Amino acid sequence: MPLIAPSLLTANFLRLEEACNMLNESEADWFHLDVMDGRFVPNISFGMSIIKQIRKTTTKVCDVHLMILEPEKYAEEFKAAGADILTVHFEACPHLHRNIQQIKSLGMQAGVAINPHTPVSFLKDILADIDIVLLMSVNPGFGAQKLIPHTIEKIKELRRMIEEKRLNVKIEIDGGVTLENAKAIVDAGADVLVAGNTVFGSADPKETIAQLKRI
């Protein structure tokens, strides 16, 4: 069974507590929290103060996806806000190894995200140091986009790399996950499905989460 990580990016922010309560009652495994800086990606979302509020509503894993430059400046604050997992972008970090060490030394699980154009082979020398690879299946910045089909090949290749090295690294897929394509994603080797629009755009979000879980 995949882990389900609904993204709150498309939730109604005037009713954030309701959205959090719904996720708590649902079979969602993680809260996926998308932080955007308007520099690494062409959009601005929310930061640590919102995450701190969300953290108060839940005991589920807070999976923070940083789409920001210079994440080292803020890692400590995200830890203080309640992040359990901190994921940084390969493309945003010239000193990625140092970023990963910092995240782990703060007591969080460390993730590395790659954009659709970045080959999974670029992760070869960091894979043993991390807990999660987040494969972007759309260009980061916005919810409700269509999954780029080539992602399926990338999942298979990454799964082979992880198995060859006998590592315990999770593969998380982010962007355009739907009830229609989720099975192909899981069959290719994904462990975690992020879903924003599919969950929050649904008439019955809890039921949609249950369906994704049983895909």
> Are the beta carbons of 183 and 146 closer than 8 angstroms?
no
Helix (H/G/I), strand (E/B), else coil: 177: coil
* Among 53, 58, 115, 145, interactor with ligand DX5 by CB under 6 A: 145
Residue 194 as a binder of ligand DX5 (CB under 6 A): the answer is: yes
Residue 10 as a binder of ligand DX5 (CB under 6 A): the answer is: yes
- Residue 110 class from Cβ within 10 Å (0-12 exposed, 13-18 middle, 19+ buried)? buried
Residue 37 as a binder of Zn ion (CB under 5 A): the answer is: no
Q: Which residues pair with 171 in a beta bridge?
A: 133
Say which entry of ligand DX5, Zn ion, none residue 197 contacts (CB below 5 to 8 A, set by partner kind).
ligand DX5
> Are the beta carbons of 198 and 9 closer than 8 angstroms?
no
Pick the piece of the chain touching ligand DX5 (CB under 6 A) from 46-54, 70-78, 136-144, 180-188: 136-144
Pick the piece of the chain touching ligand DX5 (CB under 6 A) from 20-28, 55-63, 91-99, 168-176: 168-176
From the list 106, 95, 36, the residue with the least C-alpha distance to 68 is 36
Closest-by-Cβ residue to ligand DX5 is 196
Say which entry of ligand DX5, Zn ion, none residue 195 contacts (CB below 5 to 8 A, set by partner kind).
ligand DX5
> 154-163 burial, b for 16+ CB within 10 Å, e for fewer?
bbeebbebbe
Q: Kindly list the catalytic residues.
A: 34, 174
Q: Residues 38, 193, 59, CA angle at the centre, nearest 5°?
A: 85
Residue 144 as a binder of ligand DX5 (CB under 6 A): the answer is: yes
Say which entry of ligand DX5, Zn ion, none residue 175 contacts (CB below 5 to 8 A, set by partner kind).
ligand DX5
C-alpha distances in Å from residue 156, one per residue of 86, 159, 161, 193:
24, 5, 9, 15
Query: Can you read off the two tokens belonging to residue 204?
Result: 């019955």
Give residues 43-82 in contact with ligand DX5 (rule: CB under 6 A).
Answer: 65
Pick the piece of the chain touching ligand DX5 (CB under 6 A) from 152-160, 163-171, 175-183, 207-215: 175-183
Binding interface with ligand DX5 (CB under 6 A): 7, 9-10, 32, 34, 65, 138, 140-145, 174-177, 194-198
